[in-house]
Chain A
Amino acid sequence: MPPAPPYARLSYPAPKAKVEKPRHSGDTGRRRRQDTKEVSVTPPLKSFLPKLIGIVLLAFATLGGPLSAPAEAQLRITITDPTLSPMPFAVPAFVARNAEASELAGDIARVISADLTNTGLFREIPQEAHIARIGSFDAPVQFSDWKAVNAQALITGSVLAEPDGRIVVQFRLYDVVSEQPLGEGLQFVGTRDGWRRMAHKVADAAYSRITGEGPYFDSRVVFVSETGPKDARQKRLAVMDYDGANVQYLTSSESIVLAPRFSPDGSRIIYTGYESGFPQVTVIDVASLQKQIVGGVDQNMSFAPRFSPDGSRVVYSAEVSGNTDLYALDLGSGQTSRLTSAPSIETAPSFSPDGSRIVFESDRSGAPQLYIMPAGGGEGERISFGEGRYGTPVWSPREDYIAFTKQNAGRFHIGVMRTDGSEERLLTGAFLDEGPTWAPNGRVVMFTRETSGANGAPALYTVDITGRNLQRAATPAAASDPAWGPLLQ
Chain B
Amino acid sequence: MKTTALILMATLALTACGDRLGRGGAGDGFGDAGAGAGGFGAGGVGDPSSVAYFQQTIGDRILFAVDQSTLSPEAQTILAGQAQWMNANQGYTALIEGHADEQGTREYNLALGGRRANAVRDYLISQGVSATRMRTISYGKERPLQICSTEECYSQNRRSVTVLAAGAGV
Contact = CB atoms under 8 A, between A and B. Distances in A.
Interface of A: 229-231, 233, 254-256, 258-259, 272, 274-279, 300-301, 303-304, 317, 319, 321-324, 345, 347-348, 361, 363, 367-368, 391-392, 405, 407, 431-432, 434-435, 450, 452-454, 456, 480-481
Interface stretch (B14-22, B24-32, B37-45, B48-56): B24-32
Given A319-B138, A323-B115, 8 more contacts: A255-B27, A259-B106, A259-B107, A276-B27, A303-B111, A322-B69, A347-B107, A432-B102
Interface in B60-74: 67, 69
B110 A277 contact: no
Contact of A279 (B30, B137, B143, B147): B137
A324 B102 contact: no
Contacts of A323: 115, 118
A478 B148 CA distance: 18
Contact of A322 (B23, B122, B145): B122
Contact of B111 (A319, A367, A454): A319
Interface in B105-132: 105-108, 110-112, 114-115, 117-119, 121-122
Contact of B115 (A274, A277, A345, A432): A345
Nearest to B119: A322
Contacts of A256: 25-26, 139, 142
B26 A303 contact: no
Contact of B107 (A275, A317, A321, A450): A317
Contacts of A322: 69, 114-115, 117-119, 121-122, 136
Contact of A258 (B28, B106, B137): B106
B26 A348 contact: no
B26 A392 contact: no
B77 interface: no
Contacts of B142: 233, 256, 258
Contact of A324 (B114, B136, B148): B114
Contacts of A233: 142
A435 B106 contact: yes
Nearest to A453: B149
Contacts of A368: 105, 108
**Among the interface residues B26, B111, B112, B119, which one has the most CB atoms of the partner chain A within 10 A?**
B111
30 contacts: A254-B26, A255-B26, A256-B142, A258-B107, A274-B27, A277-B30, A300-B114, A301-B110, A301-B114, A319-B110, A319-B111, A322-B69, A322-B115, A322-B117, A322-B121, A324-B111, A345-B111, A347-B107, A348-B105, A348-B107, A367-B67, A391-B108, A405-B105, A407-B105, A435-B105, A435-B106, A453-B148, A454-B148, A456-B147, A480-B106
A348 B121 CA distance: 25
Contact of A392 (B107, B110, B114, B136): B107
A370 B23 CA distance: 34
Across chains A and B, which 8 residue pairs bring their CB atoms closest together, nearest first? A322-B118, A277-B29, A277-B27, A452-B149, A324-B111, A319-B114, A391-B105, A345-B111
Nearest to B102: A432
A275 B121 CA distance: 23
Nearest to A276: B29
B103 interface: yes
A306 to B, nearest CB: 11
Contacts of A231: 23, 143-147
Question: Which of B28, B108, B136, B145 has most chain A Cβ within 10 Å?
Answer: B108
A40 B114 CA distance: 51
